[in-house]
Amino acid sequence: MSAVSEHDRYIITRKRVKNARITIKPDATIRVSIPWHMPKSDVEKFLSAHHEWIQRTLAKIAVRERVAVSPGTLLLHGKEYRFISCDGDSHTIVINHDETTVTGNPSMLSNQYIIEEWYKQQAAKYFTVRVAELAAQHGFTYSKIRISSATSKWGSCSSKGTISLHWKLIKTPVAVSDYLILHELVHTQHFNHSDSFWKRL
């Protein structure tokens, strides 16, 4: 038997289990199984202790599902974009979101530096707009956006309100990157992972 206290993408279920456990499904649903008599305060401590793991796992879901991207494609917002070769400057790349294609010089696909710089540019353009949209929609304020290449974090928020997001998030589905953006925006109001933080998130 179990008791469900929340629904949608974040589900807490009380079960006849000895220890609490978090499971994240391929659709980014977070399921938390906890013992029947575990106090709410202990549940919050458990979630706080695992928040970094939850964040990293959500960000990796789409990439993990698409480890073997088809040859001649690029991953953008969780979708494979077919690469179309054309003559011209190797740094000039055109995106067609309706047809999910990327057109550019064929040398681009063989140059990891050019690809990475392109992804960083796309991340800067997209996240600058998207963070502003979500902040306005949910009543947050922040100082600026920074595109990061940090190896250990997908996102962070400084005490001065600077939101940092890893450029590789541009590869993940919008639902995943939105979650991480909101996670950092909530930190502009709650700089820890307290009960108030999780309720706001």
Residue 4: predicted pLDDT: 43
List the Cα angle 82/85/91 in 5-degree steps.
Answer: 100
Three-class SS of 100-164: CEEEECHHHHHCHHHHHHHHHHHHHHHHHHHHHHHHHHHCCCCCEEEEECCCCCCEEECCCCEEE
**Res 136: pLDDT:** 97
pLDDT for the residue numbered 64: 52
Cβ atoms 148, 137 nearer than 8 A:
no
| pLDDT for position 62 | 53
Q: How does 6-42 read in b/e, with b if 16+ C-beta sit within 10 Å? A: eeeebbbbbeeeeebebebeeebebebbbeeeeeeee
- Per the CB < 8 A criterion, the answer to whether 142 and 190 are in contact is no
Residues 6+ apart with CB under 8 A from 75: 62, 63, 66, 69, 81, 171
- Is this prediction's pTM over 0.85? no
Residue 66: the pLDDT is: 46
Tens of pLDDT along the chain (201 residues) come to 444 444 345 688 888 888 999 988 766 778 899 999 999 889 888 888 888 788 777 766 655 544 445 668 888 998 889 888 887 666 678 889 898 888 888 777 778 888 889 899 999 999 999 999 999 999 999 999 999 987 667 889 999 999 999 999 999 888 889 989 999 999 999 988 888 888 898
Q: What is the pLDDT of residue 89?
A: 66
β pairing state of 162-166 and 144-148 = parallel
Q: One-letter amino acid identity for 63?
A: V
